Structure 1
Amino acid sequence: MNGTSFQSDIRYWLRQGNTVNHLLLWNIVVFLGINILYIVNTFYPTNTLFSWTYDQLALHSQLNTFIRKPWGLITYMFTHVEIFHIFFNMLNLYWFGNLFRGFLGNKRVLPLYLMGGISGGLLYMLCYNLFLPGFPSGMIGASASVMCILVACATLMPNYEIGLLFLGNIRLKWLALGLIALGIISIPRGNLGGIISHMGGALFGFFYIRILQNGTDLCKPLIWLFDPETRKEGQQQQARSKPKKSPLKVVKKPEDNNQLRLDQLLDKINEKGYQSLSAEEKAWLDKVSKEN
């Protein structure tokens, strides 16, 4: 494969309009960039560019450091150094990001990724300053953002099944609960800061869907900020005085009877909750979710 073909493939991949692809790319670019600096530092130990860059990108627990580098609350969730750290985060982001995107639309992916990461980062800082005041600590990684998206999927579609190596098919709700339980159990021996941030992301993902089902979309301000079409549609709706659309509507336009019925069931869940569905409606919704 020549360089031109590779660049064409990347451009095609990004032009698909899939925000998950863009998030994967930026995480990989930052990973490659910081590891190039790490390699340089290995051969030239006096070179401090790697440590300086890491320090700028990480989220710091100490308030006096955070005040000087507040951008770390955003940059940390795009930064990885270890290969297995980024591999598993990006693998889960690809799986669950696309699953989330298929049900609640592409426009919500980046806002939820950011808000999940911010929630995890704030909980990390809060816990360190409450229980380990003055202890210097820095954190990097997209784990909180990915956990947020995973738990959001599990909350929206708890009985959706995915296939896992050695485990077979498992429902999302059990996968999410299992990962949370493993995180809590490993606190005494694991990466405390990372585990705390996982819990923060998971909590936000859960409450985001619950609040969304009650008619309020916490991602709406960021959707408006990042998406010009949403701003344009909002202006047109205000001009026409149209009623507010349900936040649980699938973004795609109805093309057939299945899509129309899916919209109607999501509206019903939004108004009355999932338990209001009949057994037949739940079975149909579960079948459609697996097909997507």
Structure 2
Amino acid sequence: MQAAEDLQPDTTGIARAAALLCAGQLVALPSETVYGLAADATQDDAVAAIYAAKGRPDFNPLIVHLPDLDSAMTIAMFPGHAHALAEAFWPGPLTLVLPLRPGHGLSARVTAGHATVAIRLPAHPVMQAVLSAAQRPIAAPSANLSGRISATTAAHVRAGLGGRIAAILDGGPTPVGVESTILAPSAEGTRLLREGAIPREAITPITGPLTADTTPGARVEAPGQLASHYAPHTLLLCGGTPQPGEVTIGFGTAKGDLSLSEQGDLTEAAARLFATLHNADALAQSRGATAIRVADIPDTGLGRAINDRLRRAAAPGPFSV
């Protein structure tokens, strides 16, 4: 495939992105969380192309993006606290894993054989405009090679997938910077399947206590549950004392070659997380560094999502050094 088209977030670019999606092509789209690799969720071949472009295992389901609650209700049922969660956090960085309705019309590849589907209503105006123009559900995992660092800029997408997809719609840096929180509400309670941009403290007043089920092993229900994920090319270490030959990432008063937030602000750290990992990886490779070491991050609020990404990026896996 030729290099991806560069599309701007204007009327022409949005129309072109929607046309490519309707034609079964892959387009990287900006969201408030990270860039997504989008395809028509009703076309088997288009969805299969997502897995092929990313090198993603086909047992790992995809998130379906929709413009509004009415369209979500035609595809899925809303048990337990699902309606209350949707009303509180949609559009926004929350994904709900919900039972499929009969006649939903989605490709079976989207759900990886499950009787449930992961649904999100994105808040980013560019992605919302594309959804409105395409008039169909859009499957869109993060726009990066499977297991590697997520993309928060169009440049990150181009570096990882530029020769594998039809187009990249450049909406600038993503403002939130970490992926959506994923919940599975039911009549028995609500399970947390992935830590994300909406912290537990904002969710539990609606749901009560959450049951964490974020790394279920072979039984993957939602994106982001694999033990090894988000990995740079260089070995990543979390916490501890920096050693000679390492690239360091600081936080707050802990200084480093780079910093997630010199002010110790978790919102800023989340927004900068993946871009900083990309930059640290490039710096490590230029220096021939042995590892990247990240300072300790408080494990509260957004810090849980940051630490979740860092632990998975540091975990042994197919990309381990």
The answer to whether the superposition gives a TM-score over 0.5 is: no
Task: Compare the two structures and name the one with the higher helix fraction.
Answer: 1
* Bigger Rg, structure 1 or 2: 1
Q: Indicate the structure whose relative CO is greater, using CA pairs within 8 Å and at least 6 residues apart.
A: 2
Task: Compare the two structures and name the one with the higher strand fraction.
Answer: 2
The TM-score with structure 2 as length reference comes to: 0.27
